[in-house]
Amino acid sequence: MRQIDALKSPRFTQVSTFARLPLCVEGEEVKAAFLGIPFDDAVTYRPGARFGSMGIRKGSRLLRPYNQFLDTYPFDKLNACDLGDVNVIPGYIMDTMKVIEESVYEVLTKRRLVPFIAGGDHSITLPVLRAMYEVYGKVNLVHLDSHYDFWDTYWGKKYTHGSWLRRALEEGLLKDVIQAGIRASTFSKEDLEDKRKLGIKSFTIRELKLRPEEVIKEVNSLDGPTYVSLDIDVVDPAFAPGTGTPEVGGLTSFEIIELIRAMRFKKLVGFDVVEVSPPYDLSELTTMLASNLIYEGMSVLSLNY
Ligand SMILES: [Mn+2]
C-alpha cells in the first residue's frame, strides 16, 4: 500500500489530500488522479462550491483501500494520487475557463491519466470538455443532474453553470449525451422540445427511479471515450444538502452509489463531481457522499486494469 496510514501510525501527520493519497509526483506512472477546481463565480443561486474540492478531500478521510462490492483496490490499481487544485481566478469566468482548459490539457498530454475532478460549480465542465476534445476528439457524456443545464443564457449571459451543456453541444465537443435524474421545474414547456432538438437522451428522475436498468443499459452501450459529469443535486437534499440549487425528490445516497457501481465504460476519460457547497452542508453529509462517488468511479475504472 502506498498510502500513508495515519490512522495506524501516530508518527505521521494526516495531510489534506484526497483519501490520504500521496500528492502526484512528476514522472510517476499514474492512471487516475484527483484534481480540484475551486471556482463558483458562475452559480445562479447559492454560492460556496469553490470550497467543494477541499470539502471533498476532508470528507474522504475515512475511505479505505478495498472496495468489497466491486472486489477491487482502486487506489493501488490506478496508482492514484492528488494533483492539487487548478489556479482559478475568482471573479473572472472567461479567464478561469482558459486556465482550466490549459491545466487539464497539460495533465492529459503529460500523463494520459483519468482526472477525477472535484468542483466547483458546473461551469467548470465546459473547459474540461474542451481539453478532452483536444486530446480525444468528440467524447460521450453521461450527465447526472436534477437540471437540464442546456439553457441558452442567464441574464443574457452565455457562460453560467446552467448553460455549459448547450455551449458544449454548440462547440461540437460531444458525441452521444445521456442525461438522467432530471426533475427541476423549468421556465417553459419549450425546454422539453429543446431536449429533442438537441438530440440528448434524457431520463427524468421518475424514469431513473422506476427503471434504472434502462439508463444503465444506455450508458454501458456507449462506444468510445466517455466523460461522466455528476452534479451532486441529482441526489435528494435530504442526503446531499450542501449544494447551490437543491431540488427535492431525488436519489438516495444508496441509489446513486449503486448507479455508479453498475456502470461499465469501454474508455472512461474523465469524471467530475460538481456543485458541492460545504457552507450549506450538515455534518459533512454531502462531502462524504461526494468523496464516496469519486471512490466508486475510481473503482469502476480500476476494473479495466
Ligand atoms: Mn444541477
Cα–Cα separations (whole angstroms), residue 193 to 5, 143, 190: 53, 18, 5
Set of cell numbers at residue 208: 431513473
Q: What is the pLDDT of residue 69?
A: 98
Which phi and psi (to 5°) does residue 139 adopt?
-115, 155
Residue 149 counted as an annotated binding residue = yes
Q: What is the mean pLDDT of residues 213-230?
A: 98
- Number of neighbouring beta carbons within 10 Å of residue 172: 9
CA of 157 to the centre of ligand 1 (A): 18
Residue 95 counted as an annotated binding residue = no
- On average, the pLDDT of the chain sits at 94
Q: Identify the residue whose cell numbers are 467530475.
A: 272
Q: Which is nearest to 142 in space by CA: 163, 125, 162?
A: 125
CA of 233 to the centre of ligand 1 (A): 5
CA of 181 to the centre of ligand 1 (A): 10
- Band the pLDDT of 12: cuts 50, 70, 90: low
Residue ranges of E strands in the chain: 32-37, 81-85, 114-119, 139-144, 174-182, 201-204, 225-231, 267-274
Q: What is the pLDDT of residue 1?
A: 46
Whether the per-residue pLDDT at 103 is higher than 80: the answer is yes
CA of 147 to the centre of ligand 1 (A): 5
Q: Which is nearest to 222 in space by CA: 185, 177, 276, 287?
A: 177
Residue 233 counted as an annotated binding residue = yes
Residue 145 counted as an annotated binding residue = yes
CA of 302 to the centre of ligand 1 (A): 27
Residue 147 counted as an annotated binding residue = yes
For the chain, domains (ranges, CATH) are 35-302 (3.40.800.10)
CA of 16 to the centre of ligand 1 (A): 27
The DSSP bridge pattern shows strands 139-144 and 174-182 to be parallel
Q: What is the pLDDT of residue 271?
A: 98
CA of 138 to the centre of ligand 1 (A): 23
CA of 100 to the centre of ligand 1 (A): 20
Whether the per-residue pLDDT at 6 is higher than 60: the answer is no
Q: What is the mean pLDDT of residues 192-210?
A: 94
| Sequence-distant (≥ 6) Cβ neighbours of residue 126 within 8 angstroms | 97, 159, 164, 167, 168
The string of pLDDT tens digits covering residues 37-75 is 999 999 999 999 999 999 999 999 999 999 999 999 999
Q: What is the mean pLDDT of residues 276-304?
A: 98
Distance CA 81, CA 100 (A): 19
The string of pLDDT tens digits covering residues 272-288 is 999 999 999 999 999 99
Q: What is the pLDDT of residue 58?
A: 96
Whether the per-residue pLDDT at 5 is higher than 70: the answer is no
CA of 263 to the centre of ligand 1 (A): 21
Q: What is the pLDDT of residue 112?
A: 87
Q: What is the pLDDT of residue 111?
A: 87
- Ion ligand 1, residues whose Cβ is below 5 A away: 145, 147, 231, 233
Distance CA 47, CA 91 (A): 12
Min mean pLDDT across 11-15, 22-26, 76-80, 125-129 is at 11-15
Q: What is the mean pLDDT of residues 121-147?
A: 98
Distance CA 186, CA 262 (A): 30
